[in-house]
Structure 1
């Protein structure tokens, strides 16, 4: 029996979560832009009518997916960094927690990228933007803490370092999707972060070199 059928008597909130998880599963192997409510209902072995009892339309489902991704990703990285006093070690824990989350839910970044690339300012796209802004702000605070405690040089541009951090994960995600191997991220992540860490620890030298070139 289909796993979703066995859960058909769940309370409304849990049913909505199950639907969101089904969409993330579909996005792992299907272009998110091609996922229809009919496809979602078929994947869950439900009728579209049953699906629309919990969501008024497809946009409402997409908005719920973005909220699901944002809440779980931020909770994952916050939990990973909890209790770590070193800002650099905290960033490392956040990095690996993010990579692990994506490896477990490869449909999540596909949904996120798809929304950010869309031309329309939909509610789900706005949520995707808010997630990226919230994440960058979280990283910037950790980097500033690293500068305050002497782990990182004062000359380090915190916003640029946060952008690079997020960009590294996006690069790992894209390469793993191209290769069709999400586990590749886990294998490459420690080496990638080690290079990043060495770079931001020596930012004073790097900044001096850039100023010399300019």
Structure 2
């Protein structure tokens, strides 16, 4: 253990612990990740780890906060850079897939928290992330509808559910195959079909069918 490793500022050490959990979750069941495994990956004792996170629940909350902050910031930046709402949706979709490819432990952590039978701060944070993400998605879809890009009768909630379902399906395929490059390629192909479906709905309505 180097002197630098022992004397990192508390905020940096907390960030290091969060990253250790996410990396461990990429290849292990999050429920089976122990504080001793986290500390070992950080080259710390458990006592040193608990100086930064008093409980395991506090670590899990820190992980969910990290995921929420970074994922929402990414999609806001990517979607906000596009003036066309469909382009914003595409940027949001592909950006989310890239985030998962870069951090494969994240969906495992999210699923573990949302499936937790108990009510914990980490579970509440995971649920808030899903709600905030959905609100952003529905706003973009509503903007596309208001601009006439999508039909006025479009079911925003259904379109948002399908969008999220596509990402969940890609995540499942990635868990099966363990191939992030394939997931990115599949995401491009899936997006083309989703976008074509939305545009076809416009044409169908305009054609009176």
Mapping 1:8-157, distance limit 5 Å: 8-157=6-155
Distance, in Å, in 1 between the alignment partners of 2:91 and 2:26 is 25
Partner of 1:193: 191
Q: Matched residues in 2 for 1:185 and 1:140: separation?
A: 24
Task: Give the aligned length.
Answer: 206
Determine the C-alpha separation between the residues in 1 that align with 2:59 and 2:104.
18
Contact 1:8 1:15 (8 Å CA) reproduced: no
SS at match of 2:6: coil
Ranges in structure 2 where 5+ consecutive residues have no aligned partner: none
The match for 1:170 among 168, 179, 200 is 168
Deviates further, 80-89 or 20-29: 80-89
TM-score of the pair, normalised by structure 2: 0.93
Give the gaps of 5 or more residues in structure 1. none
Q: Could you say what the CA RMSD is over the residues aligned between the two structures, in angstroms?
A: 1.8
Cα deviation, 1:27-57, whole Å, max 9, x if unaligned, reads 0011100001011111111100000000010
Query: Contact 2:75/2:91 (CA < 8 Å) preserved in 1?
Result: yes
Structure 2 CA distance for aligned equivalents of residues 7 and 106 of structure 1: 26
Runs of 4+ in 1 over 6 A off after TM superposition: none
Q: Secondary structure, in 3 states, of the residue corresponding to 1:55?
A: coil
Residues in 2 aligned to 1:153 and 1:101: alpha-carbon distance in whole angstroms: 30
CA positional deviation for 1:206: 7.5
Whether the 8 Å contact between 2:16 and 2:42 is mirrored in structure 1 is no
Work out whether residues 150 and 202 of structure 2, in 8 Å CA contact, stay in contact via their aligned partners in 1. Answer: no
In the alignment, the residues of structure 2 paired with residue 199 and residue 70 of structure 1 have an alpha-carbon distance, to the nearest angstrom, of 29
TM-score where L is the length of structure 1: 0.91
- Displacement of 1:83 after TM fit? 2.6
Determine if contact 2:23/2:103 at 8 Å carries over to the other structure. Answer: yes
Q: Tell me, in whole angstroms, the C-alpha distance in 1 between the residues paired with 2:12 and 2:106.
A: 19
